[in-house]
């Protein structure tokens, strides 16, 4: 780890005014400190934001929730209002990391996790995300864990978060604040596809800080399911994960949400596929068609072709389990 300066501001504007291109905000530190130990990230200045007043979960006037950026992953997953109204989010968070890491990791930091592509993590090899223009060894190397959707010639990395897949499906909104003021970013727009600039994971500017994540009111709580498929039963990143949520009137689908993790540079949500589910009757055939539509543009690399079949089956299973979730004892 390189030497760095340390500050602990107590207000959001103080924090964003301390920031620079060479600084990083730190809260849980579970990913940032790991990257710093590997010399992947070498900030000159860490701005400790844990003293900012962003630790609460509040109800919004429109019936949703506003989650402070510093709420830990564990506190969020086990919060009574999240368990009752957004069980999909609880389930996704608890599917990720370990209890220790969930106690440390923050809501805002979870959104800013960097890929676990092993070439990105190995400073001795090229990587367009780490060193723009240096090349992508994953494209022709070991790419079993890499993207099947939305990748580019420059980058085939995937976003590692489980929580973000649920937040995408729940149409969350990211509240950010910078020196120029505050803005709100729709979750679907927050993370980027790699394109020609894979070094940028999201739309945040250097001086911008995530202050909260907003969940809109919905009627999806009785029929949701997060399915995570990985190489071992616990404490591993997803090969493929599926966040599925339905609002049903009898057997008929009123609202549908479907997002995938482990398959792209960002949580993968396809609104056209969701729209195609609305009005349909719950059936394996309906869900099978949705899976085919969502994956029609999937492109395998040499070692990850299995992910397409895995995702197809995962989508059908997650939607089927979501459809009956509220009917379980």
Residues that bind another protein (CB under 8 A): 1-9, 14, 17-18, 20, 22, 26, 29-30, 33-34, 37, 44-46, 48, 50, 74, 78, 97-101, 103-104, 234-235
Q: Which is nearer to another protein, 17 or 192 (CB)?
A: 17
Following DSSP, what letter does each residue of 246-281 receive, concatenated? EEEETTEEEEEEEEEESSSSS-EE-HHHHHHHTTPB
CB of 55 to another protein, least distance (A): 13
CB of 34 to another protein, least distance (A): 5
CB of 278 to another protein, least distance (A): 35
b/e for 238-247, b at 16 or more Cβ within 10 A? bbbbbbbbbb
Q: Which is nearer to another protein, 121 or 288 (CB)?
A: 121
CB of 222 to another protein, least distance (A): 22
Q: Which residue has the tokens 């209002």?
A: 81
Per DSSP, the chain holds a count of helices (H) and strands (E) of 13, 12
Q: Which is nearer to another protein, 3 or 250 (CB)?
A: 3
CA distance 215 to 126: 39
CB of 191 to another protein, least distance (A): 23
Q: Which is nearer to another protein, 94 or 301 (CB)?
A: 94
Locate 69 and state its tokens. Answer: 């950026």
Q: Which is nearer to another protein, 14 or 122 (CB)?
A: 14
CA distance 237 to 240: 9
Beta-carbon count within 10 A of 12 CB: 18
Beta bridge partners of 243: 226, 259
């Amino acid at each position: 780890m390189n030497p760095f300066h340390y500050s602990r501001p107590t207000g959001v504007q103080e924090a964003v005014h301390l920031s620079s291109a060479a600084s990083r905000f730190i809260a849980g530190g579970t990913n940032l400190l790991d990257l710093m130990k590997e010399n992947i990230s070498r900030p000159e200045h860490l701005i400790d934001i844990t003293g900012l007043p962003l630790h609460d979960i509040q109800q919004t006037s429109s019936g949703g929730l506003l989650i402070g950026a510093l709420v830990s992953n564990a506190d969020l997953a086990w919060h009574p209002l999240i368990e009752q109204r957004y069980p999909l989010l609880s389930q996704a968070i608890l599917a990720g990391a370990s209890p220790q890491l969930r106690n440390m990791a923050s809501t805002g930091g979870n959104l800013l996790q960097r890929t676990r592509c092993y070439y990105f993590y190995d400073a001795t090899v090229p990587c367009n995300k780490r060193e723009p223009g240096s090349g992508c060894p994953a494209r022709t190397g070991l790419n079993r864990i890499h993207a099947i959707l939305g990748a580019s010639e420059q980058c085939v990395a995937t976003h590692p978060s489980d929580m973000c897949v649920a937040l995408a499906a729940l149409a969350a909104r990211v509240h950010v604040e910078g020196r120029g003021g505050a803005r709100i970013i729709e979750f679907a727009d927050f993370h980027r596809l790699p394109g020609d600039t894979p070094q940028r994971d999201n739309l945040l500017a250097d001086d911008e800080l995530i202050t909260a994540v907003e969940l809109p009111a919905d009627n999806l709580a009785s029929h949701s399911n997060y399915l995570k498929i990985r190489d071992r039963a616990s404490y591993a990143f997803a090969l493929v994960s599926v966040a599925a949520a339905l609002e049903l009137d009898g057997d008929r689908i009123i609202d549908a949400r479907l997002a995938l993790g482990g398959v792209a540079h960002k949580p993968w949500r396809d609104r056209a596929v969701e729209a195609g589910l609305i009005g349909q009757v719950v059936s394996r055939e309906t869900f099978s068609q949705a899976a085919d539509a969502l994956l029609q543009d999937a492109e395998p690399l040499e070692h990850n072709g299995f992910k397409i079949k895995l995702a197809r089956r995962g989508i059908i299973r997650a939607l089927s389990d979501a459809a009956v979730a509220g009917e379980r004892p």
